[in-house]
Amino acid sequence: MENLVSLAISLAYILLVLGLATLVAHIQGGRSEYSRKLVHVMVGNWVFITPFFTSLWAVALVPLTFIVVNALSIRFHFFKAMGREHENLGTVYYAFSMFVLSSAAFLLGWRELAFIGLLTMAYGDGFASLVGRRWGKHHPFSFAREKSLEGSVTVAITAFIVSLACVALVRELHDETKTMNRAWEFGMSASFAIFVTESVLIALATAIFAAFVELTGKNGCDNLSVPICTGVFASLLLRYGSVGMTVYLLVALGILIYAYQKSAITADGIVAAELTAATLYAFSSIWVAASLLLFFIAGSLVSKISNSTKKRGECRQGDAGARNWKQVLCNSLPACVALWLAHFSHNTNTAALICFSVFAAACADTFSSEIGMLSRGKVLNLINMRPVPNGTSGGVTLLGIAAGMAGSALLAIPSAGQYGIRGFLFVLVLGFFGTLIDSALGSTIQQRFADKHGQLMDAPAYPRQRAVVGIAYASNNVVNMLSLILICIFAYFLKGLVVP
C-alpha cells in the first residue's frame, strides 16, 4: 500500500509541475528557458518522496516512466514547455540519472547518494543556467567558453548547501548516541567541533567537484554526469573519508592538473580519474590506490616520447592525444566495478589482486603501443603474422613486446607490497598477457577503415565512412575495456595461486 500511495503522489506531483510549466510557457507566449528550468528544478524534488517507497520496483518505476515519456516527447513534442528549440537528450539523461541514483540509494541504503546528486542537478544546474544568462559576464574556462564563472559559482554554492545538509543529517543519525548527545550535553565540545569541521570540508570538496563536473558537460550530458559523479563522490567522502584519503585525492588532483597543462588529459578525463581515485582508496588498499597514480604517470610519460616513425603511426589511430573520460573509464572501470562488487560481498582481498592485474595489463598495453610505434622495424599482425603499417591495431613489434613486459613489471611492483613475490609474478604474467589479448582483439574485432591506398587504419578517412574490417562501433576504447574484463575473469579464476 505504501508503494501505491507513493506512486500516486509522484504522478500527481509531476502532473502539477508540467501544468505549472505549461502555464508559464503560455504566459510568455510559447516555450521559454524559464518554463524549461521550472521543470528541471521542480522535478528534482521528487527525491523527497523516495524514502517512502518500500520496494525497488516501485522506486525505479517512476524514473523509468520519465525516460520513456521524455524520449517520446523529444520525438513527438508532447511537452513543449520542457524542451528547447534545438533539442538534445538532456531530459532523457536527467530521467536516467534519477533511475540510477534512486535505485542505487535504495539498494545500498545510501540516501545521500540520491539526495545530493539529484538536488545538485536540479537546483545547481537549473539556477546556474538562469544566472549565467542574466549576469554571466566572465568566461575564464578555456575548455568551456560557453559557461560563465557566475554560473559555476551558483553550482558550487548550491552543491555546498545541499551536501552540508545531507552530510550533517546522515552523520548525525549514524553517530547519534556516541557523538551528538555528548556534544549537546557539554556544549560546543571537541567532538562537535570535529563533527562540524568534517561536514563542512566534505561539503566544500563536493561543491568544488560538482562545479567542475558541470563545466565539462556538453549537449545535455551534464544532466548525467553532474548528479551521478557528485552523488558518488560525496557518498565516498562521507562514508570512507579520512586524512589519508584527503591527502591521496589532493596528490592525485595535483598530478592531473599538471597533466592537463601538458595536454596529457582533458578536463572531463580529470573528472573520471579523480572519481576513480576516490573509489580505489575507499574500497581497497593504499597499494592499489598507488598503482593508479603510477599507471597514469608512467603512461603519460611514455606517450610524450616521439619520433618521425611514431608520428606517422599516430595518424592511423583515432584516439591519439590527451586522454579523455572514455579512455580513462575504459582503463579503470573494470577494476572499479570489481571493487564495488567485492566491497559489498566482503571479498576485497581478491578484488585487490584483480585491480593490480587490470592496471598492469593497461600499462603493458600503453607501453607496448606508445614505445612500439617508435620502432622502425617490421610491424606484424599478431594473428596471421603478416606485415601491417605502423600504428595499425593488432600490430606488434619486438620493441613493443619488450616494452609491454616492462610496463607490466612496473605496475606489478605495488602488488608485491600486499601479496609478496608470488603476487608480483602473478600480476606481471597476467599484465603482459593482457597486452597480447588486446592486440589479438584489435586485429580481429576492432573496426578499421581503409585509407586512399587501401591500407587499414583505426580512424575513418572521411565522415560517415564505414568500417571494412571488424565490428562496427568496436573502437580501440571498446577493445581496451574488453581485454581488461577478460583479465578480470582470468585473475578471479586463477586467484588461488596467490590468495589462499
Nearby residues of 451 by Cβ (< 8 Å), 6 or more positions away: 316, 457, 461
What's the whole-number average pLDDT of the chain? 85
Instruction: Supply 190's cell numbers.
Output: 571537541
pLDDT of residue 53: 93
Provide the pLDDT for residue 403.
94
Together in a domain, 394 and 473: yes
Q: What number of other Cβ atoms are within 10 A of residue 240's Cβ?
A: 14
Report pLDDT digits (tens) over 328-376: 999 899 999 999 988 888 777 889 999 999 999 999 999 998 898 888 8
Q: How many C-beta neighbours within 10 Å does residue 16 have?
A: 11
Domain stop point among 217, 241, 265: 241
User: What's the mean pLDDT in 413-430?
Assistant: 94
pLDDT at position 490, please? 95
Statement: residue 81 has pLDDT above 60:
no
**Between vectors from CA 385 to CA 382 and to CA 388, what angle results, nearest 5°?**
85
DSSP designation for 465: P
Residue 31 is assigned to a structural domain of this protein: no
pLDDT by residue (tens digit) across 155-191? 999 999 999 999 888 766 655 444 444 444 445 455 6
Residue 32: band (very low, low, confident or very high) from pLDDT cuts 50, 70, 90: low
| Residue 194 forms part of a structural domain | yes
The band of 29, judged by pLDDT with boundaries at 50, 70 and 90, is low
Length, in residues, of the chain: 500
| pLDDT tens-digit series, residues 462-491 | 777 888 888 888 888 899 999 999 999 999
Range of the domain at 118: 110-241
Whether 228 and 297 map to the same domain: the answer is no
Question: Residues 195-247: pLDDT tens digits?
Answer: 778 888 999 999 999 999 999 988 778 899 999 999 999 999 999 988 889 99
Share of the chain above pLDDT 90, in %: 47
pLDDT, residue 218, reads 82
Q: Which three cell numbers stand for residue 497?
A: 595461486
Q: How much is the average pLDDT of 406-427?
A: 94
What is the Cα gyration radius of the chain?
A: 25
> CA-to-CA distance for 362 and 408, rounded, in angstroms?
8
What pLDDT was estimated at residue 344? 82
- What angle, rounded to 10 degrees, do the helices at 149-174 and 126-135 form? 150
In angstroms, the CA 60 to CA 46 distance is: 12
Of the CA atoms within 13 Å of residue 452, those in its CB half-sphere come to: 1
Q: Among 221, 241, 261, where does a domain finish?
A: 241
Distance in angstroms (rounded) separating the CA atoms of residues 217 and 289: 27
* pLDDT for 177: 42
**Distance, C-alpha 32 to centroid of its chain:** 32
- Cα atoms in the Cβ-side hemisphere of radius 13 Å centred on 226: 36
Same domain, 179 and 302: no
CA of residue 145 relative to chain centroid, distance: 22
Could you tell me the sign of the dihedral formed by the alpha carbons of 193, 197, 203, 206, in that order? negative
Cell numbers linked to 156: 558550487
Q: Is residue 81 part of a domain?
A: no
More confident: 30 or 390? 390
Same domain, 233 and 269: no
Q: Which of 37-41, 82-86, 123-127, 331-335 has the highest mean pLDDT?
A: 331-335
Q: Kindly state whether residues 223 and 311 are assigned to the same domain.
A: no
| Whether residue 409 is found in the same domain as residue 350 | yes
Is 361:435 a contact under the CB 8 Å cutoff?
A: yes
Given 241, 264, 299, the domain boundary residue is 241
114-160 pLDDT, tens digit per residue, is 999 999 999 998 888 888 888 888 888 888 888 899 999 999 999 99
pLDDT digits (tens, 9 = 90+) for 268-299: 999 999 999 999 999 988 999 999 999 989 98
pLDDT of residue 183: 44
Contact 434, 357 (CB under 8 A): yes
Report the relative pairing of strands 456-457 and 449-450 from DSSP bridges.
antiparallel
Mean predicted confidence (pLDDT) in 311-330: 79
Please report, rounded to a whole number, the percentage of residues in the chain having pLDDT higher than 70: 90
Cell 542537478 belongs to 121
**356 and 475 co-located in one domain:** yes
Same domain membership, residue 352 and residue 303: yes
Distance of CA 210 to the CA centre of its chain: 13
Q: Assign 79 a pLDDT band (cuts: 50, 70, 90).
A: low
Please compute the mean of the pLDDT values over residues 252-280 and round it to a whole number. Answer: 92
Query: Grid coordinates in use for 305?
Result: 616520447
Predicted model pTM: 0.88
Q: Cα(336)–Cα(51) distance, rounded to whole angstroms? A: 28
Q: Is the pLDDT confidence value at 31 over 80?
A: no
Residues 6+ apart with CB under 8 A from 280: 288, 289, 292, 335, 336, 339, 355
Would residue 29 be called left, alpha or beta, if left means φ above 0 and alpha means ψ between -120 and 50 degrees?
A: left
Residue 63 covered by a domain: no
Same domain assignment for residues 429 and 453: yes
Given this model, what pLDDT does residue 196 score?
79
Cα–Cα dist 199/165, whole Å: 9
User: Is 36 inside any structural domain?
Assistant: no
Number of structural domains in the chain: 2
Q: How far apart are CA 47 and CA 102, in angstroms?
A: 8
72 domain residue, yes or no? no
Specify if 237 maps to a domain: yes
Mean pLDDT value of segment 414-427: 94
Say if residue 395 is in the same domain as residue 489. yes
Tell me the C-alpha distance between 81 and 69, whole Å: 14
Asked if residue 270 is part of any domain, the answer here is: yes
The residues, ordered by sequence, that sit 6+ positions from 84 with a Cβ below 8 Å of its Cβ are 31, 36
Quick check: 400 and 356 in contact, CB under 8 A? no
- Within its chain, how far is the Cα of 38 from the centroid? 28
- Name the least confident of 49-63, 87-101, 360-374: 87-101
Same domain, yes or no, for 347 and 455? Answer: yes
Asked if residue 305 and residue 439 are part of one domain, the reply reads yes
d(CA 356, CA 359): 5
